[in-house]
Amino acid sequence: MNGLNLSQLLAGSIALLALAGCAPSAPKTIDPMDEAMQRVVAGIRTTSFPARTITVDAPVEADALLLLQEAIDSLSAQGGGTVVANAGVYPLGGTLWLKSNVRLELSADAKLLFSGRGDDFLPAVPTRWEGTELLGRSAMIAAIDAENIAITGQGEIDAQAGLEMAAWGMEPGTANFEENVHGTHGETVEMADVNRLRAWGGRRTLANTPKDSLLTFGAGTFLRPCCVEFNGCRRVLIEGVTVRNSPFWCLHPLYCTDVTVRGVTIDSHFPNNDGCDPESSERVLIEDCLFRTGDDAVAIKSGRDADGRRVGRPSRQIVIRRCQFQSECNGLCIGSEMSGGVEEVFMDSVAIGYVKNALLFKSNKDRGGYIRNVWVRNITVDETAGAVLRFENNYFGYRGGNYPSHYADFHIYNVHANRCGSFAIYCDGLPEMPMERIAVDSLVVDSAALPHYLYNTRECTFRRTWVNGEKLAETLPESETRQSCDVW
């Protein structure tokens, strides 16, 4: 080869390409969030239904619940298919149960109008209520241990909670819901049942729990059910529909795997009306949704205190992207019921309106568990009353404080907020369990009452972070005293 080695030949070839205007481009940099997020999305198993179809018309005098349920049951028994509800109003006086291999398609102008009466959703079934297992009222649309199910279309699901059940989460005599003292924080109709459940759940451990022992909350009790709840289901799709007026959480995938929530509108403004609450679930995709909610837009859960640790099932591999959060409480929330742990959460390209806290990670010293490996990017925020970024480890603890939660490995970048009524950055850790490795890059808060607060943190960095027009140091000082952010 006339004394030239291979490296010299390659160098010469590259130089000739450069002279010809054909120089090879530099290797494309791959965002590690992209790679990890796409791996999760690619791993979500999707639904698929046989071509078999049953079409149902809105009845004039017949029982709409009976018609729809018979169609669902018939298709499931035949191996699956699609139940199409044509345009019209379907009055439903009880739970509509989805069965394996069936899709419920709500045509445009089809409305499922539920009764709103609490006792129509009995007998009690296995569920979780704010992270504690029990036998309680079923959701308006429900499934237990089903495979390959879907709710799709352009129609509406109206729970009509304002007729009765929403009032259980308000102070007695309150005519209209307002976001202040309400739900599970106030002196409400349901609080005696809430306290009984929490005290019982706080004592449950592997050592003292009979295998099939659950408290029953049936007639004469006041724990509000969710609107749509799938318990222990695999391959789930909710797409296109609008959900209104839920008694409690709007969409609740519980103990589920492979869940897709796409193009859904939530328009529900009663107490505890979170938009979507994946709980102890994995491989969940929430995309292209609009959340107009009375509470958090998306809240990720995994059980509460001793009962949540007993179950020990985390939420993980959750992707939230291209959504609008017009919620009246918080934007994204992880917790506070997270005793089974939460990890591998990805949030990308979300527009948040006026909220209490934009990105909230909350726990307390009773929970245990962990929040780790969270990736957030490309977020816009109109305004917060509380914090833009809030890491909270002291949220309403009651039972001794012996189980601090571990927070670690957060990657947050390209976030822009217009106004902030409290702290732009709030990190409230514990001496016995400091928060670790929170990496923030390219955060801009145009106007904030207070720029930052860090307490009991380790290895936290803030690159290219601007608050009130001033660039913050990459390493921020720890506060000498604990400070509160009383915006919930």
pLDDT of 183: 63
What pLDDT sits at residue 1?
38
Asked whether the predicted pLDDT for residue 8 surpasses 70, the reply is no
> pLDDT at position 63, please?
92
Mean pLDDT value across the chain: 92
Dump pLDDT digits (tens) for 232-259: 999 999 999 999 999 999 999 999 999 9
Count of alpha carbons within 13 angstroms of residue 417, beta-carbon side: 34
Beta bridge partners, 413, equal 377, 441
- Which range has the worst mean pLDDT, 54-58, 104-108, 253-257, 391-395? 391-395
Going from the C-alpha of 152 to that of each of 165, 256, 289, 310, the distances in angstroms are 26, 18, 13, 35
Could you tell me if residue 203 is inside a domain?
A: yes
Domain count, the chain: 1
pLDDT of residue 102: 98
The answer to the question of residue 175 being in a domain is: yes
pLDDT at 12: 41
Q: Given phi > 0 = left and psi -120 to 50 = alpha, else beta, which region is 322?
A: left
Tokens for 461, please give them.
């960095």
Compare 360 and 18 and report the one with higher pLDDT: 360
Give residue 345's domain range: 53-355
User: Across residues 281-301, what is the average pLDDT?
Assistant: 98
Tell which residue, 295, 172, 286, 180, has the closest CA to residue 226: 295
Q: What is the CATH number of the domain that holds 87?
A: 2.160.20.10
* Span 47-74, pLDDT tens digits: 999 999 999 999 988 899 999 999 999 9
The fraction of the chain above a pLDDT of 90, given in percent, is 85
- Provide the pLDDT for residue 20: 40
Q: Quick one: pLDDT at residue 184?
A: 65
- Cα distances (Å, whole numbers) of residue 10 to 1, 18, 19, 71: 13, 12, 14, 69
Report if residue 107 sits inside a domain. Answer: yes
pLDDT at 331 over 50: yes
The string of pLDDT tens digits covering residues 361-371 is 999 999 999 99
Is there a domain that residue 333 lies in?
Answer: yes
Give 163-213 pLDDT, tens digit per residue: 999 999 998 877 666 554 456 667 899 999 999 999 999 998 888 887 678
Please determine, for residue 40, whether its predicted confidence score (pLDDT) is greater than 50: yes
With bands split at pLDDT 50, 70 and 90, how would you rate the model's confidence at 15? Answer: very low
d(CA 448, CA 426) in angstroms, rounded, equals 12
20 occurs within a structural domain: no
Looking at residues 322-351, what average pLDDT do you find?
97
Predicted pLDDT of residue 172: 84
Q: How far apart are CA 41 and CA 249, in angstroms?
A: 25
Give a yes or no: residue 412 inside a domain.
no
Has residue 293 been placed in a domain?
yes
Rounded to whole angstroms, how far apart are CA atoms 382 and 282?
30
Q: Is residue 267 part of a domain?
A: yes
